[in-house]
Amino acid sequence: MRFAASKQSFVSRIAICRGGFGTPKPISKGRRLQVVSNPLHFTESSMNSILRQSAGAASLLAAASSFAAGNLSVSRETIVERPPATVWKLVGSFDALDVWLPPVRGSSFTGVSGQPGAIRVLDLGNNASVTEKLLSYSAAHHRYSYAFVNSPLPVKNYVATIELHPAAGGKTLVKWTSTFDAAGAPDAKAKEAIQGIYDAGLTRLAAIFRPQQ
């Protein structure tokens, strides 16, 4: 029961951090994220607050080894003002999430780049981390899929795909989708946690590639 309560608090803190860069409204599956002009208020102190709530859990949650599809799903997307080939140089690096996903402070990598089975460990600070396994990778199609191996988030059976598509005007549609089941939290809270992370990452990614005024 203590573990479940800790994860629920973790999710509520993510909601607070989302509000820090513009309080995105809930977006239904497939709806495009509205990128705001100032996305960088997802601060280190905010993330530390989240992790203090989750660090008291007995251990990180281990995802199912079969990576079976979950019953819940999240889909987020945004437009980036560069062509897919350029955006892929950053997004397509399996070891670069610490560059564009605000909660991640560092990343380590084992395996062969672009080879299914590769493992990345994402440092979230405060002795918390996420371990993910690369399931599939296509540089030609600008797409890769991965799964949680260990995570403090209140989900299990988590499998996600990041993919890029050409958009009008030489821009890129970045789409981030996943399926999973809730673990130790209500379905709505589990979805809120994943949505908050995607919103933070896509907003930061768009800001990185936004032309200087």
pLDDT in tens, 61-76: 443 335 667 899 999 9
- Residue 119's pLDDT is 98
Name, in order, each residue with C-beta under 8 angstroms of 69's C-beta and a sequence gap of 6 or more.
Answer: 157, 159, 179
Q: What is the pTM of this model?
A: 0.73
The answer on pLDDT for 55 being more than 60 is: no
Distance CA 24, CA 19 (A): 7
Q: What is the mean pLDDT of residues 19-39?
A: 40
**pLDDT tens for residues 173-196?**
999 999 999 999 999 999 999 999
Q: What is the mean pLDDT of residues 155-180?
A: 98
Domain ranges of the chain: 2-209
Let me know: does 134 contact 121? Beta carbons within 8 Å.
no
CATH fold of 2-209 reads Alpha-D-Glucose-1,6-Bisphosphate; Chain A, domain 4 (3.30.530)
